[in-house]
Amino acid sequence: MVRIFFYMAFLSMTFWGCSPEKETKLFEEQLSERTSIEFENKVAHDGDNNVLNYPYYFNGGGVAVGDINNDGLVDVYFSGNIVSNKLYLNKGNFQFEDITEKAGVGAKQGWKTGVTMHDVNQDGLLDIYVCRSAMGDSLLRKNLLYINNGNLTFTEQADAFGVADNSYSTQASFFDYDKDGDADLFVLNHSLPKYAGFNNMLVNFKNQKGTKFQSKLYRNDQGKFRDVSEQAGIINNVLSFGKDWFCICRRLFVSSCIAILWGECHSPNSF
């Protein structure tokens, strides 16, 4: 009996003496109190502003990261549907400064969606391309291209570069589709809710085309972008929802089975 008690006491001491290893995590959350990043994509729910009138109401905005001033620190740009976009300059040690106003990249008008950073004019400075959607006024749907001036300010030049797409845009990506050394542009647009209910034959949807929701491929011709969607064989119809894309074996997959380049491929729907 004494021996059993001894063993029990020993085991208890052993377990009590062992503190569990500190849990190691792959990521560590940095709170806004430290980073000063306080962006919030607030959307109103009143009057005609609701998901019934616009089914993409909760698609959200976007975020792009890149070193806009080439100081080795990655900066962050957020797009807000109806709130101002925000550009945060990375000061190091997880400290960020909101430079939106002086940078001139707030994009306060329209309904902003996806955003991507790319050095569009190849001057060594990252530029910012912002997609817009939702608005009935096509002028407010024009996508925006903020060219980096090199002094923490930007100038909007989407029209000058030929990328002021006024469709209902979800997201855009720059990539060199014709392998000539410069980056071209693919803009994924979505349709209005003609497909709602799915009470029509899919073949009818597939035959419905329109410039407002047609996804676009823009070829970079010496710095000026031109719409080459038709000649590139981009297949579009009313069933265009959104995208997640990746290149495998020279094939471009676009979700929702809309655009097909370099082959006859289909990908799962990812509305």
Binding stretches for Ca ion (CB under 5 A): 67, 69, 71, 73, 75, 90, 119, 121, 123, 125, 127, 148, 176, 178, 180, 182, 184, 220
User: CA-CA distance, 132 to 171, in Å (whole number)?
Assistant: 9
Among 195, 193, 187, CA closest to 165? 187
CB of 236 to Ca ion, least distance (A): 21
Closest CA to 59 of 13, 113, 96: 113
CB of 19 to Ca ion, least distance (A): 41
Q: How far is the CB of 205 from Ca ion (least distance, A)?
A: 32
Cβ closest to Ca ion, residue 67 vs residue 156: 67
Instruction: State which residue, 98 or 182, has the beta carbon closest to Ca ion.
Output: 182
Specify the DSSP element, H or E, that contains 32: helix 32-35
> Cβ of residue 178: shortest distance to Ca ion, in angstroms?
5
- Number of other residues whose CB lies within 10 A of the CB of residue 57: 16
- Contact partners, residue 17, CB within 8 Å, separation at least 6: none
DSSP conformation letters of 181-215: SS-EEEEEE---GGGTT--S-HHHHHH---TTT--
How far apart are CB 206 and Ca ion at their closest, in Å? 29
Residue closer to Ca ion (CB basis): 38 or 180: 180
State which residue, 3 or 179, has the beta carbon closest to Ca ion: 179
Question: Residue 225 CB, nearest distance to Ca ion (Å)?
Answer: 10
- Looking at beta carbons only, is 72 or 136 nearer to Ca ion? 72
Which is nearer to Ca ion, 163 or 239 (by Cβ)?
163
Q: Which residues contact 71 (CB under 8 A, 6 or more apart)?
A: 90
SS3 112: strand
